[in-house]
Amino acid sequence: MTPSDKNRKVIYAKRPSGAPTTDCFALQDMPVPVPGDGQALIRNDYLSVDPYIRMRMEEKDSYAPVMAIGETLVGRTVGQVVISQIGGLAAGDWVVGRLGWQDFSVAGAADLQKIDLAAAPATAYLGALGSTGITAWVGLMTFGRPQAGETVLVSAASGAVGSVVGQLAKLQGCRAVGIAGGAAKCALVKEAFGFDDCVDYKSPRFAEELAAAVPAGVDVYFDNVGGPILDAVLPLLNNFARIPLCGLVSQYNATEPYGVKHLREIFNRRVTMRGFVLSDHKDLWPAATQALAQAYAAGKLAYRETIADGLENAPQAFIDMLDGRNVGKQLVRLRPA
């Protein structure tokens, strides 16, 4: 990097109606920022694109404020320190942080976390060992509270969060059953992530196949999608089942929300449904990080990545991910390998 390098960033150009299109985003060239006292300049190597960003593209605040038009897209990155004015952080160190869709970022110590590439590849810290894995752990352990022998059902099971949930459920001695779209994803869920079973929601016999996959009913439904799949699961819940509601990806692009019909089961089965977002649970990060690192070191935490190349392709990667075209964690490589 020299001072003449430019910093490319993706800014939020237009609010989508329904599914976002590439013209909702715009690429902008800016000067590379200069770190002040107590800051560092980071060159971002990989960018994580995540479903929650779709919610921040709405006109109305969700759990987080919406993004303003003209703002740099939010997202976590992993990269290397170029210049450091932070004690204990040196040029060449690898860090992870919420540094946005851009080549370079300036950040203070509180927004950066050093990572160890001897323990795992850099991209794992955006996925299974990072906020994705922590989301899975917090939702499952805190709100799912699985007991050995119980059945844990997970939607978007081949996705970044879902795939970790199933593996954590297995480590708890549970039966782990996934829901995913298509035979290839279902095979991956079973073979790569070790779920006991996986049901294809695109199958015309989905409801029957789902019931057959959970012969003892469902004790924990870790839901990433909401909508009609949630409706299909509700009648299969056991008494006192728990539903950690991690997202509603099926609804983010919907202009008319789906009406869920089987809420009576929440009453009948005395179910607890709990929405959660990771940022409320900073106190649990150390425990989650440790548990995930241990599982990974023991060879019990597999993950998959779908990597798009080039910042200019980040909008399309995001659009494809919302459409379920990714497998595992959707990343964008910002610097040629």
Residue 213 has which token pair?
């996959």
For the chain, give the number of residues. Answer: 337
**Residue 325 near a copy of itself by CB under 8 A:** no
Position 261 contacts a copy of itself (CB under 8 A): yes
Of the candidates 82, 187, 266, 302, which one interacts with a copy of itself according to CB under 8 A? 266
Alpha-carbon gap, residue 67 to 58, rounded angstroms:
8
Task: Write down the least CB distance from residue 53 to a copy of itself, Å.
Answer: 15
Q: Provide the minimum distance between the beta carbon of 305 and a copy of itself in the complex, in angstroms, as a whole number.
A: 25
Q: Are 132 and 314 in contact (CB under 8 A)?
A: no
In one-letter notation, the amino acid at residue 281 is: H
SS3 state of residue 94: strand
Size of the site for a copy of itself (CB under 8 A): 33
DSSP letter assigned to residue 66: P
Sort 239 into a burial class: Cβ within 10 Å, 0-12 / 13-18 / 19+: exposed
User: Residue 274 CB, nearest distance to a copy of itself (Å)?
Assistant: 5
- Category of 43 on φ-ψ map: left (φ > 0), alpha (ψ -120 to 50) or beta: beta
When the beta carbons of 120 and 230 are compared against a copy of itself, the nearer one is: 230
Torsion of CA 117, 121, 126, 129, to 10 degrees: -80
284 binds a copy of itself (CB under 8 A): no
Is residue 272 at the binding interface for a copy of itself, with CB under 8 A as the rule? yes
Per DSSP, 72 falls in state B
Q: Is 267 in the site for a copy of itself (CB under 8 A)?
A: yes
| Least Cβ distance, residue 168 to a copy of itself (angstroms) | 20
Site of tokens 């805190």? 142
Residue type, 187: A
Quote the tokens at residue 263.
């809420």
Member of 30, 121, 145, 276 binding a copy of itself (CB under 8 A): 276
89 is an interface residue for a copy of itself by CB under 8 A: no
Smallest separation, CB 277 to a copy of itself (Å): 6
Beta-bridge mates of residue 245: 223, 275
Of 23, 191, 208, 280, which lies in the binding site for a copy of itself, with binding defined by CB under 8 A?
280
d(CA 160, CA 133): 8
Q: Which is nearer to a copy of itself, 35 or 247 (CB)?
A: 247
CB 100 within 8 A of CB 9: yes
Q: Which of 114, 145, 262, 333 binds a copy of itself (CB under 8 A)?
A: 262
Tokens 């690429």 belong to 27
Minimum distance between the CB of residue 149 and a copy of itself, rounded to whole angstroms?
21
Minimum distance between the CB of residue 82 and a copy of itself, rounded to whole angstroms?
37
Please give the helix or strand (H or E) that residue 288 lies within, else none.
helix 285-297
> Which region, judged by CB under 8 A, interacts with a copy of itself, from 32-40, 111-119, 170-178, 240-248?
240-248
290 counts as binding a copy of itself under rule CB under 8 A: no
Under the criterion CB under 8 A, does residue 247 sit at the interface with a copy of itself?
Answer: yes
Tokens of 117: 């590439």
Site for a copy of itself in 215-234 (CB under 8 A): 226, 230
**Is residue 176 a contact residue for a copy of itself (CB under 8 A)?**
no
Q: Which of 55, 96, 161, 220 binds a copy of itself (CB under 8 A)?
A: 55
Using CB under 8 A as the binding rule, whether residue 16 contacts a copy of itself is answered as: no
Contact 160, 302 (CB under 8 A): no
Contact positions toward a copy of itself, by CB under 8 A?
55, 62-63, 226, 230, 239, 245-248, 251, 256-264, 266-277, 280
